[in-house]
Structure 1
Amino acid sequence: MARISVKITPFHPDGTECTHAIRPSGKPRDPDSGCTGRRDYAVVCSACGPIGEPHGLRVLAEPAQIAHRDSHKVTPVSVTR
């Protein structure tokens, strides 16, 4: 079975993914990077793609991340002899 990852991905206000280093305030560490700051956080599954709507704060996206990851867990199959 392939390994599935469920990550929280930050996005710029224009909808592009943000890969810049960010200060705790949400502003870019390097002012010359062209980064406009982070606005939304989306849960993205490697098997299913984007999950639900983006969240304004990372902490608000974590429950959706956990719930979706749990939905991929395989239930153990009992073996009878």
Structure 2
Amino acid sequence: MPRITLKITPLHPDGSVCTHAVRPSGKPRDPLSGCPGRQGYAVECSACGRVGTPHTLRVLAEPAQSAHRDSHKTAPAPANR
């Protein structure tokens, strides 16, 4: 079974991934970069894609990341006697 990874990705207001350097306020450090700023964070699963709705703060996306990770855990195999 392939390994499933979950990451939290920063988003622009239009929902695209933001890879620009930004200030703590979410505004771009370089005003000439063309970045509209960061507006939210989404949980991305390597198996399921984007999970749930975007969150306004990264700290709010972390519980959703943990909950989705737990949903992928399989039941333990029965012990052989």
TM-score (norm 1): 0.87
Q: How does 1:30-41 map to 2 (within 5 A)?
A: 30-41=30-41
Write the deviation string for residues 13-70 of structure 1: whole angstroms up to 9, x where unpaired.
1222101112222122222211111002111111011111111111111111000011
1:64-79 maps to which residues of 2 (within 5 A)?
A: 64-79=64-79
Q: How many residues align?
A: 81
Matched, 1:25 2:44: no
Q: Secondary structure at the match of 1:41?
A: strand
Runs of 4+ in structure 1 displaced over 3 angstroms? none
Identity level (%): 72
Distance 2:21 2:40 in 1: 15
Match of 2:49 in 1: 49
Unpaired runs of 5+ residues, structure 2, are: none
Please report the RMSD computed on the Cα atoms of aligned residues, expressed in angstroms: 1.3
**Distance of 2:52 and 2:12 partners within structure 1:** 18
TM-score normalised per structure 2: 0.87
